[in-house]
Structure 1
Amino acid sequence: MLQRPSLTYLHTTMMPIFAQLQLEEALLRVSKENICLINRGSPPAIVLGISGKPEEWINLSAWSQNPVPVLRRYSGGGTVVVDENTLFVTFIMNGTEIAVPSQIQAVHAYFETLWQKAFYPHPFRLIENDYVLGSRKVGGNAQYLARDRWVHHTSFLWDFKPEHMGLLARPPKMPSYRQERGHLDFLTTLSSCFTSADELLSPLVNELSVRFSLSEGNVEELSKCLTQEYRRQTMQESLAVPLVT
């Protein structure tokens, strides 16, 4: 029998997304472990992809009335607004151990099948890089792809506040399946089909236990990597409040 690769599983609640992204980046660059990090909720924030331009992705007028922190993560992709209703799931993996190379199509294919098992019997699928229930987006994902190690992190909407979604501008590039819909017509929530987050996470962990040898992680122990030297790209942004004319 082939030995299953090991996976450290860490489950937290209300870790600020800035702290989460800092921890992820440290684990990516310093650790050699396969890690699954699940975090339920965060204080409100806007998170830009590494090359995102605030003026293209953020409704600066709305933000000036509700100036939540703006962060820039170490991975690519678009911009999301997060809060206490966001469910974060991050995988930091050695691709060679699970035969998933550092290629976006391969990573997406792996996680589409993984999440379909967790979401069953609900109509979950990947469409144009979005996680979708039916025809509505329920989660966004982004990747960091290095030679032998990669990150796939997802922000699922357990629920959302329209006023927070109003902090985002219409993105400069939209998937065709969106069909020009505004945020409120384009998005759906996990709470529309699950009574609790555990109803989704329990089958996820069960599937992971089939694919991996699981061990429970400890935040304090894993956070030790933050003290080491490594390239740091996660940062807070300083935005100017636009002048009212």
Structure 2
Amino acid sequence: MATLFETRKLGLPLMNLIRLEGLPILKQLHLEEELFRTSKDNWCIINDGTDDPTIVMGISGKPAELLDIKPVLHDEIPVIRRFTGGGTVIVDPGTIFATFICNKEAVPGLQPYPRPIMSWSSLIYEQVFQGIGNFRLCENDYAFGDRKFGGNAQSITKRRWIHHTSFLWDYDARNMSYLRLPKRAPEYRMARDHMEFICRLKDYLPRSTFINKTVEALGTHFSLESVVYEADKDPSAIKFMPTTRQLTREELEEALSATDLENCPAQYASL
């Protein structure tokens, strides 16, 4: 583990590294938001999988547009609205998460805007996937060729930015049916359905190899220091109130009702 003295000697900024396994995605997002809002340090969070299938939408996501709400309600799939932008994903034990939370000056010369941050992060994964597949940054996604395996979301403030990625290590094809084709899909998707648009990372390298290579690549830009996260922290001791939250069943039912009203014939719309 590098000391602060060694970090200064190397000329690399310090980054705290938290490695998790199976932390529920809501807890992970609460942790990310807390560190982003209240900490002055740089952080990397890697969470190897989550628990039950969960839908995560961006801060401005609308369930009626993005979800097939009836089966979501029937199967009791949790829906979370996170504090960052970006698209909608369904995550489960086959998803690997990697998040970078950085101060504005952490990466020399990096302009704190979405596209430069996206381009910089792709350099990390170019190191990870060197000689593996045909890795590309396609608009806001990570892909092999024209098939997506990583979706990204960001938030940027005056002094800090956060960039987090959901990697499709594996997925259950049935879960993809909960998601609608978004109105603002990337051009390279070319209206393909989910099964034609995405691919599994497990077809390219072992799970542990991907995680270890990510840490190794990040270590060429930062001096990493491992930090233990207390997942069972006493809730009464937590003063920060995150904005990331799970939508209630009532909210989803209201969205479904609004959708049904929009889709009904004109002669019944006023009834």
Give the TM-score range, shorter chain: over 0.9
Gapped regions of structure 2 (runs ≥ 5): 1-8, 265-271
Question: What is the distance in 2 between the residues matched to 1:224 and 1:217?
Answer: 18
Question: What is the distance in 2 between the residues matched to 1:226 and 1:108?
Answer: 37
**Preserved contact between residue 57 and residue 170 of structure 1 (Cα < 8 Å):** yes
Q: CA deviation at 1:220?
A: 2.0
Which of the residues 179, 182, 188 maps onto 2:190? 179
The residue that corresponds to 2:68 in the other structure is 59
Which of the residues 59, 68, 80 maps onto 1:71? 80
The residue that corresponds to 1:80 in the other structure is 89
SS in 2 for 1:96: coil
**Preserved contact between residue 45 and residue 68 of structure 1 (Cα < 8 Å):** yes
The residue that corresponds to 1:220 in the other structure is 230
SS in 2 for 1:75: coil
Amino acid paired to 2:97? F
Which of the residues 128, 134, 149 maps onto 2:160? 149
Query: Quick one: structure 1 residues 149 and 63, their matched pair in 2 at CA, closer, same or farther if it must change by over 3 Å?
Result: same
The residue that corresponds to 2:268 in the other structure is none
Q: CA deviation at 1:232?
A: 2.5
Amino acid paired to 1:79? T
SS in 2 for 1:211: coil
Q: CA deviation at 1:94?
A: 0.8
**Preserved contact between residue 125 and residue 217 of structure 2 (Cα < 8 Å):** no
TM-score when scaled to structure 1? 0.92
Larger Rg: 2
Question: What is the distance in 2 between the residues matched to 1:13 and 1:230?
Answer: 23
Q: Write the mapping of 1:157-168 to structure 2, written as runs, cut at 5 A.
A: 157-168=168-179
Gapped regions of structure 1 (runs ≥ 5): none
**Preserved contact between residue 19 and residue 47 of structure 2 (Cα < 8 Å):** yes
TM-score when scaled to structure 2? 0.84
Q: CA deviation at 1:80?
A: 0.6
Q: CA deviation at 1:140?
A: 0.3
Q: Deviations over 1:8-65 (max 9, x none)?
A: 1111111000000000000001111111100011121101100100011111122133
The residue that corresponds to 2:21 in the other structure is 13
Question: What is the distance in 2 between the residues matched to 1:112 and 1:74?
Answer: 22
Question: What is the distance in 2 between the residues matched to 1:29 and 1:176?
Answer: 33
Coordinate RMSD, CA, aligned: 2.3
Note if 1:240 corresponds to 2:249.
no
Question: What is the distance in 2 between the residues matched to 1:155 and 1:116?
Answer: 16
- Count of matched residue positions in the alignment of Structure 1 and Structure 2: 244
The residue that corresponds to 1:114 in the other structure is 124
